[in-house]
Structure 1
Amino acid sequence: MSIVTLTTDFGYSDSYAGVMKGVMLKINRELEFVDITHAISPHDIQQAAYVLYSAFSYFPEGAIHLCVVDPGVGSNRRPIAFEAGGYYFAGPDNGVFTKVIEKLGPSFIYEITNPDFINRSVSNTFHGRDIFAPTAAWIARGGFAMNALGPQIVDPTLIDLPKQTQSAPNLIEGRIIYIDHFGNAVTNITSGLIEKLQKELGAEGVEIEFPSGVIKGILKNYSESPGGAAICATIGSQDTLEFFVRSGSASATYGLSVNDDVDVRFY
């Protein structure tokens, strides 16, 4: 049985995600579906890229990751599929696979053009159903080389995602890149770089500046917070710095948003 994951902005009130599963089951009944999420903010390619990247490697090798956040559906943006790091991916060539491609560096990416692997009738507004779902189901069935899907492409679309920088010996500059369901504000500043500079500088403390304030120190976990509406920082499950309010929302309480600047200084 093959695993197919779904990451979309379809929400949970419409039939779109269920229809995609039905299409896949008509081609291959031996599938196990895992919904990573259908709650990506509508049309938010950057958020989709982060969520997919944060989840894909926790699945067994051979899993097929279907990502459909596709504001350009019906345009000349290409439908693609590829294998990388023992996993398969299918979705629009609009940047949703940026972080996966940058990490795994797939050597062969294919535009899906072969009519044998898609629905006979293709809607201009629902490529998830008519192109990506059937392609994923056929990949799961196997028995063909990936180049049967269509021509190889060498210029996949990569979006410009924020990157942490060490802009001075004692300064890391980064950004908030994701707000989770709890209102925690996840940054792109890695624990690895923080620990490296602390050690190199022999720093006794750390100060974290964000648009609405300054925090001193990084807590080990959420329970170390003093409580109330205090905003704190910790290293989250993706090994990056994040802001939180214990039993509350850092984003709502302090007005934090994606792309807000964050500075980490050592002293």
Structure 2
Amino acid sequence: MNPLVLQSDFGLDDGAVSAMYGVAVGVEPRLRIHDVTHNIPPYDIWEASYRLAQVVSYWPTGTVFVSVVDPGVGSDRLSVVARTATGHLVVTPDNGTLTHLHAIFGITELREIDETTNRREGSEHSYTFHGRDIYAFTGARLASGAIDYEQVGPVLPLDRLVSLHVDEPRLVDGTVRGTIDALDVRYGSLWTSIPRELFLELGVSHGDRMQLRVTRNDRVVHSNQMRFVPSFAAVELGESLLYVNSLDRMAVAINRGSYARAFDLGTGNGWKVALGLVV
């Protein structure tokens, strides 16, 4: 059997997540069930997409992920299982949740879930909790080996995959440009889409002073200078810093403070960042 890893925007204040666990255990009591998070902001598909990409490569090949952030439940959006180039399976609505996985790692195959066979018995007239009735059930069957990938349902062309708009990071006129993809939620750091290798094409070294600009809707909403350093310990308490985060991308923080809260900054493709060397 393979691990089953769940993600949702359900929170832990009611029994929704427990119901998903129960369905999975009902398929196979010996399943190892784990969580990415259940604190995705309600309906935030972008956040769900990013958090999957944040963790997937650290799990063994064959791990099955179930991600349920589904504002379109009950609509004509498709239920799918994607196979990634890293050898993982992801059970999810086809609503953009696979965007970052496809962009960073690649999706090699996509299948529509055949809900006539891959659905919890007795749930045929329920249209609002597919996370429990279809996704947890199908994920558990895949993880336990009760079905194989080919039994999920028919193959879909990869160009059918629903993706959110993502701007590729780029080097332009002496600055690297990208987006604020996510926050280090607990600490308020800004995690950008700019890979370390692209940033280093600026010819920078640790200790160099950098100019940060953040724009939204083509308007500069924040500007600051800080040093590029290897870790938080290289700056004073309360000082801003630029560093390489755990995903090998550039991040901005305040030592012992929340950068996002201090400057009221958000995430998503509408939040643009530019980094340049101060000379």
Instruction: Give me the whole-angstrom Cα distance separating, in 2, the residues matched to 1:33 and 1:105.
Output: 25
State yes or no: 1:136 paired with 2:147.
no
Matched to 1:185, the amino acid is: L
Matched, 1:112 2:121: no
Contact 1:65 1:88 in 2 (8 A): yes
Q: Aligned pair 1:196/2:201, yes or no?
A: yes
- Aligned residue for 1:198, secondary structure, equals coil
> What aligned pairs does 1:1-267 form with structure 2 within 5 A after superposition?
1-84=1-84, 85-120=86-121, 121-122=123-124, 123-142=126-145, 144-154=147-157, 155-168=160-173, 170-179=174-183, 180-198=185-203, 206-210=210-214, 211-228=221-238, 230-258=239-267, 259-266=270-277, 267=279
Counterpart CA distance in 1 for 2:110 and 2:74 is 20
Q: Deviations over 1:48-97 (max 9, x none)?
A: 11111010111111111111111111100000013222211101000101
Distance change in 2, residues 1:222/1:67 (3 Å): same
> SS where residue 162 of structure 2 aligns?
coil
Verify the 8 A CA contact 1:212 1:255 in the aligned structure 2: no
Identical aligned pairs, as a percentage? 28
How many Å apart are 1:6 and its aligned residue?
0.9
Q: Shift of residue 144 of structure 1?
A: 4.1
Mapped partners of 1:205, 1:223: distance in 2: 16
Q: 1:205 Cα deviation (Å)? A: 5.2
Alpha-carbon distance in structure 1 between the residues aligned to 2:271 and 2:138: 38
Contact kept, 8 Å, 1:46 with 1:161, in 2: the verdict is no
Q: Which deviations, in whole Å up to 9, do the C-alpha atoms of 1:88-138 show, x marking residues without a partner?
A: 110100010112123443332111124222113242111000100110111
Counterparts of 1:158 and 1:28, CA distance in 2: 33
Structure 1, unmatched stretches of 5+, are none
Aligned partners of 2:48 and 2:146: how far apart in 1? 30
- The runs of 5 or more residues in structure 2 that have no matched partner are 215-220
Give me the whole-angstrom Cα distance separating, in 2, the residues matched to 1:127 and 1:208.
42
Could you tell me how far apart the structure 2 residues matched to 1:105 and 1:173 are? 22
Letter in 1 for 2:156: I
Residues 144-190 of structure 1: CA deviation (Å, up to 9, x unaligned):
4423222211111111123312222x111122111222111111111
CA positional deviation for 1:9: 0.7
Contact 2:211–2:223 at 8 Å: present in 1 too?
no
* 8 Å CA contact 1:215, 1:233 repeated in 2: no
Q: 1:116 to 1:43 in 2, by over 3 A?
A: same
Root-mean-square deviation (CA, aligned residues, Å) is: 2.0
Given that 1:234 and 1:241 are in contact with CA atoms closer than 8 Å, whether structure 2 keeps it comes out as yes
Alignment partners' CA distance in 2, 1:245 and 1:68: 32
Mark the CA change 1:18 to 1:162 in structure 2 (over 3 Å): closer, same or farther.
farther
Moved over 6 A (4+): none
Tell me how far apart the structure 2 counterparts of residues 143 and 34 of structure 1 sit (CA, whole Å). Answer: 19
The one-letter amino acid paired with 1:176 is I
The structure whose residues are more often helix, as a share, is 1
TM-score by length of 2: 0.88
Check whether the contact 2:188–2:253 (CA below 8 A) recurs between aligned residues: yes
Question: Which stretch shows the higher mean deviation, 176-185 or 208-217?
Answer: 208-217
**Corresponding residue SS for 1:207:** strand
| 2:151 counterpart letter in structure 1 | A
Q: Distance in 1 between matches of 2:198 and 2:25?
A: 45
What SS does the corresponding residue of 1:187 show, helix, strand or coil?
A: strand
